[in-house]
Structure 1
Amino acid sequence: MNDNDEKTILRIIHYCDKIDSHIDYFGDDRELFLENEHYQDACALVIIQIGEFVGRLSDEFINEHSEIPWTDIKSMRNIHAHNYDNVMFDTLWVTIKRDVPELRDFLQKLI
């Protein structure tokens, strides 16, 4: 792993941790999430940031770790950044509760 990838991974982990902070702040409740636009917006912004940083990872790193759905992560970023009216917040909830922690755990093992 090169230095830029390592720095990028640390930023992604930071944003994964921010999701936990938002869940702690707003509450670990799906219905509350689906009803609270501030909660949704806070988490969507973090997903955008994670996608931005994934886009900065080297092709070599991406290819070495193909078990992670990097393209899906970037696609989620694009949906939230450019097509917000069509965001499915049920999907975002699953992402922040399941996928983000899995991504963080995977990346932490590499550092």
Structure 2
Amino acid sequence: MNDKDRRWAETIIDYCDRIEDYLSRFDDDKEIYMSDNLYKDACALVIIQMGEFANRFSDEFRDEYDGIEWKQLIGLRNITAHNYENIVDDIIWEIIHDDVPEIREYLKKILYD
């Protein structure tokens, strides 16, 4: 793994940690999430950033570490960034609960095991 790929992986882990912090800070309650624009905006921005950094990985990195659907993460970034008014809040809620923890653990395993 080259130094840039390592740096991008560490950055994405940091963004995953931010999502966890938001869940703690705002209370891990979907009803609160759905009614709080600050909460939704913070999570959407982190998803955008995660996709941005996933797009920076070398092709070799994405080919070797294919346990994450990198193209889907990058695509989600594009949808979120360019079509914000049509974001489905339920989908982002599912992503921050299901996908973000998996991404964090996968990248930690790559970097630290």
TM norm. shorter chain > 0.5? yes
Any idea what SS the aligned residue of 2:25 has? helix
> Which contiguous aligned blocks of 4+ residues in structure 1 show a shift greater than 4 angstroms?
none
* Deviation by residue 1:37-67 (Cα, 9 ceiling, x = unmatched): 1100000000011011001100001011223
CA distance in 1 between counterparts of 2:63 and 2:83 reads 28
Amino acid at match of 1:66: D
Amino acid at match of 2:53: F
CA distance in 2 between counterparts of 1:12 and 1:67 reads 15
Identity %: 48
The equivalences for 1:1-111 within 5 A come to 1-111=1-111
CA distance in 2 between counterparts of 1:50 and 1:67 reads 16
Structure 2 unmatched ranges of 5 or more: none
How far is 1:32 from its partner? 1.0
CA distance in 1 between counterparts of 2:75 and 2:36 reads 24
Structure 1 unmatched ranges of 5 or more: none
